[in-house]
Amino acid sequence: MREISADLIGTLNDKAALAQAEDYAALGRQLARRGVDIESVTQRATAWSVAIPTWGVGTGGTRFARFPGLGEPRHIHDKLADCGVIQALTRGTRTVSPHIPWDRVSDYNALRQEAAQYDLGFDAVNSNTFQDQIGQARTYKHGSLANADPMTRAQAVAHNLECIEIGQKLGSTALTVWVGDGTNFPGQQNLGKMFEDYLDAMGQIYAGLPKDWTMFIEHKMYEPAFYSTVISDWGSSLIAAQTLGPQAKCLVDLGHHAPNTNIEQIVARLIHVGKLAGFHFNDSKYGDDDLDAGSVDPFRLFLVFNELVDAEPKGLNLAYMIDQSHNVTDPIESLMASAIEIARAYVQASLVDRTALAAAQGENDVLGAHRLLKAAYITDVSPILAEARARQGGALDPIGAYRASGYRAAKGKERPMVVGASSGIV
């Protein structure tokens, strides 16, 4: 089941094939002079995949407003169709990360088969205790896993356990837990007790993890709470992961730090202790954590991947997911552009001459070492990314093919605009 025809992709690829072949050959010669076999790099690019969050194909918003887009997905079935388009064109987004309760259905086995028709599998399941659901007994207004009320904490634990059950039916092997719990006023809650209550509740969820599952703990500096957040930083996340046990690890969302934080160093530290779970990719300039990955600071993205590629001999097994909010763009276009930028950073980081870098570092050749990193970063690897897509039946130019397909206009007719004001995903 493909919403974008292979014929259209093939026709467009044929038109661009000659230019692609020339660019790929030229890059191959350049890399060969540097002692790099382009084919081995292209194979890495071909194997790469990043998960799409199901909620990402809808238009997001801020706490001020949400401006709906044309043909927005109405439910998980529409979301899977949109994610299928992204996968068909980019061939590097083979899984989707579901969100419960937003993606709740009556038959998860059927949903798993439906996703498979788009060549999609399910990645980490995301629980939601940061908003109230219809019919919910107790409110999360004052928190969930760290709420002062034990009955509310128990309700949040039960929801997470249900997410694990659902995830097992979908073929997932990880649960991502992010809570907005925190305070807006000094004195509102006891900072130490909140953390202890959180650890106790997380321990009950951890006890329900299947043996082959991992629990991803996601930290966020602030928002929705603005004075204190219970898991505000990687230190709190690491303490929680170490307290809970080997199946608990720390998820790094690139946007959830103070501006200018050295995220790549945090990544190196978490790798050191064997507690890095994976990533939520996005970009940010100030406090917003939801801009498109690689759109503002692609060098920082590269530096994160530099740490990951450097640590590959340690046998990392990481989860990669996009987590961003699209307020002013077509979400499908943004997600394709981001998937490409993330793959670009990965491939660029794969070009670092690590033997020469280690030698330069050993000799305290400061600028020599820096220039080795920069040499990889400034290499235009676009022909490799395009080659990897085309070999798998994807588009040389995914966004161009998407625009040529008329998919969004067609969905605008099929999917009536959802009426009603709501804030988006912030």
**Judged by CB under 5 A, does residue 283 bind Mn ion?**
no
Spell 50-85 as b/e; 16+ CB within 10 A means b: bbbbbbbbbbbbeeeebebbebbbeebebbbbbbbb
Look at residue 122 and give its three-state secondary structure: strand
Among 94, 153, 257, 280, binds Mn ion (CB under 5 A): 280
Q: By CB under 5 A, name the one of 253, 330, 341, 397 that touches Mn ion.
A: 253
Provide, rounded to whole angstroms, the least separation between the CB of residue 319 and Mn ion.
12
CB of 218 to Mn ion, least distance (A): 5
* Smallest distance, Mn ion to C-beta of residue 178, A: 6
CB atoms within 10 A of CB 366: 10
Query: Per CB under 5 A, does 103 bind Mn ion?
Result: no
> Which among 37-45, 279-287, 352-360, 361-369 is the span making contact with Mn ion, rule CB under 5 A?
279-287
CB of 323 to Mn ion, least distance (A): 4
Distances (CA, A) of 50 to 45, 99, 238: 11, 16, 24
Q: Per CB under 5 A, which region of 70-78, 131-139, 266-274, 319-327 contacts Mn ion?
A: 319-327
Nearer CB in complex with Mn ion: 124/170 = 124
Q: At what angle do helices 398-405 and 76-90 cross, to 10 degrees?
A: 130
The helix (H) or strand (E) run that includes residue 278 is strand 276-281
Go through the chain and tell me how many residues it has. Answer: 426
- Shortest Cβ 356–Mn ion spacing (Å): 36
- What's the closest the beta carbon of residue 277 comes to Mn ion, in angstroms? 12
Task: Considering the complex, state which of residue 281 and residue 407 has its C-beta at the smaller distance from Mn ion.
Answer: 281
Token readout for 370 is 């820096």
* Of 264-272, 305-313, 316-324, 373-381: span binding Mn ion (CB under 5 A): 316-324
- Two tokens, residue 118: 């788009």
Verify binding: residue 323, Mn ion, rule CB under 5 A: yes
DSSP string, 351-365: T--HHHHHHHHHTT-
Residue 119 in the binding site for Mn ion (CB under 5 A)? no
Q: Which positions touch Mn ion (CB under 5 A)? A: 253, 280, 323
